[in-house]
């Protein structure tokens, strides 16, 4: 039998924010292509600092910015979004000191976020 103290002590890893998943996917894609941050930012028409902040999950870019970066990487926007959806659906972030690490398996335990409860 599960004790109440065990339930209260359980801490589920939070789901990643959209901007964190987007940044992770953009950085992974850029690095897989062997591209430098400065070159991608230049082709996308944004500053290196802004692209860096997007990749670190610090900024919420507009849809136009996302399309510009995807275009600068030569990546189909639909494929990029599918990859991000996979991270959000299956990846959970552990936030430590401003960084995120994504896990690919769903932790067991109680769900996070709003939950409909039956009376």
pLDDT-based confidence at residue 89 (cuts at 50, 70, 90):
confident
Residue with tokens 């990546």: 75
- For residue 12, the surrounding DSSP H or E stretch is none
What is the value of pTM for the model shown?
0.66
Q: 102, exposed or middle or buried, with CB in 10 Å at 0-12, 13-18, 19+?
A: middle
* Residue 17 lies in domain: 12-96
Count CB atoms within 10 A of the CB of residue 60: 11
- Does residue 86 fall inside a structural domain? yes
- Does residue 4 fall inside a structural domain? no
- Does residue 41 fall inside a structural domain? yes
Q: Let me know how long the chain is.
A: 119
- Does residue 62 fall inside a structural domain? yes
Q: Is the pLDDT of residue 79 over 50?
A: yes
């Amino acid at each position: 039998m599960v004790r109440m103290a065990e339930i209260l002590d359980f801490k589920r890893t939070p789901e990643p924010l959209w901007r964190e998943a987007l940044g992770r996917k953009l950085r992974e894609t850029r690095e897989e292509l062997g591209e430098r941050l400065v070159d991608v930012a230049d082709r996308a028409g944004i500053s290196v600092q802004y692209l860096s902040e997007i990749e670190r999950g610090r900024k919420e870019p507009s849809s136009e910015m996302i399309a510009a970066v995807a275009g600068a990487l030569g990546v189909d926007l639909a494929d990029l979004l599918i990859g991000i959806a996979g991270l959000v659906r299956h990846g959970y972030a552990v936030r430590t000191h401003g960084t995120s690490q994504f896990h690919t398996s769903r932790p067991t335990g109680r769900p996070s976020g709003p939950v409909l409860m039956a009376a």
